Amino acid sequence: MEKRKIKDNIYWLGAIDWDRRLFDSLIPLPDGTSYNAYLIKGSEKTALLDTVDPPMEDTLMEQLRGVEKIDYIISHHAEQDHSGTIGRVLEKFPGAKVVVTPKAKNMLMDLLRLDESVFSPVEDGDVLSLGDKTLTFIHTPWVHWPETMVTYLEQDRILFSCDFFGSHIATSDLFVTDPGRVYEAAKRYFAEIMMPFGKVIAKNLEKLKPYDIDMIAPSHGQIYDQPGWIMDAYDQWVNGAPKNLVVLPFVSMHGSTRQMVDHLASALTDQGVRVELFNLPVTDIGKLAMSLVDAATIVVGTPTVLAGPHPMAAYAAFLANALRPKTKFLSILGSYGWGGKTVETLASMTGNLKVEVLDPVLCKGLASQSDFKALDDMAAAIAKKHKDLDLV
Ligand SMILES: Cc1cc2nc3c(=O)[nH]c(=O)nc-3n(C[C@H](O)[C@H](O)[C@H](O)COP(=O)(O)O)c2cc1C
């Protein structure tokens, strides 16, 4: 695909990765993704903002074929899907300076083995004139690495946000055409990448408030020409209260735990609590992560295997712990054959979660009437906790 005009002298460049189905060897990409770079031609200087993932570098270099000079390569984020082609671009434009935060400079020297002399580090709030276009660099640490920044183009009121507000979607549409679809993809992206840094994301959202933003151009997914709704969505995801929702990741080998899960789900529904089940062996973990953005309560369902939780339940617990959702309550249910340390092991894996732990329900073999009664009590306790927080 050729470069595409966004506004006068501002272009989208980059690559659309229709086929990619996994990111960071972890995150499912049901809709592919894109690596967006941008070219800004000022009356005096030209800047390229970010590059593309190295497997797609030929696409970017082809788009740069007719470009006579690049004075600056703005690198917002050192991760290779945006920075990995800087070396190739420097070969073609050897005089270009790589504009980065001081931290990004060190990281790019480590990650790409670029020479220190190519860099031009900028402090928070520094301004760079391209002639008739002015760039302001806003440091946004931990969105989602420590070195990240965004760029505001004053004359056109465009925020080049890199991963901030990004979404993994492969599409030929330059601008958002279906906000519902992009909301879903951006929430998935937030859940998997940004949620662990919710508090700093909130601070960085605050930091953007003084800027008059007409357009947000991220480095994955489509450009927002009506950016208000995605900024509001981020505000809700980081600052909003959790919702009246129980997320129930579970695994069951022979159906005993599954029976307990179904019983609890039904009891919660009767109590007016929404519930989402994730059968871990067939779960898209991106969907689970998205539910964690909203969930007031997590209940992990697992049989005891080799004296602890099933490895898939341990994986889900590890993931939830790493993603640090706003969840307030946590419990465990499951079936065992003779004994083990399932509850203790899961509890020791979830120390990051600032949760109140509710009484677990573990039963030997198939659940008995008293076990079902204990699950009813768990549902009632969860409903009360949600009501006490005004979530219902
Ligand atoms: C590979 C394997 C390992 C197991 N290890 C334990 C164990 O260490 N302690 C225990 O109490 N039960 C153990 N069990 C028994 C299961 O916990 C028990 O059968 C349980 O009811 C299975 O629940 P499910 O029907 O939800 O799969 C093990 C079962 C399997 C298949």
pTM to 2 decimal places: 0.96
Domain coordinates in residue numbering, the chain = 4-239, 243-387
Q: Which CATH number fits domain 243-387: 1.25.10.10, 3.40.640.10, 2.130.10.10, 3.40.50.360?
A: 3.40.50.360
- Most informative mutation of 250, 253, 258, 279 for ligand 1 (most atoms within 8 A of CB): 253
Q: What is the CATH number of domain 4-239?
A: 3.60.15.10
Q: Are 153 and 131 contacting, i.e. CB atoms less than 8 angstroms apart?
A: no
- Nearest atom of ligand 1 to the alpha carbon of 257: 26
Whole-angstrom CA distances from 138 to 16, 108, 143 are 27, 19, 12
Tell whether ligand 1 has an atom less than 6 A from the beta carbon of residue 281: no
Ligand 1, atom 28, lies closest to the CA of 305
Tell whether ligand 1 has an atom less than 6 A from the beta carbon of residue 4: no
* pLDDT for the residue 165: 98
Tell whether ligand 1 has an atom less than 6 A from the beta carbon of residue 193: no
- What averages of pLDDT result for each successive group of 10 residues across the chain (392 residues)? 95 96 90 97 98 97 96 98 98 97 98 97 98 98 96 98 97 96 97 96 97 98 98 98 98 98 98 98 96 98 98 97 97 98 96 96 98 98 98 94
Chain-wide mean pLDDT for the chain?
97
pLDDT > 70: percent of the chain: 100
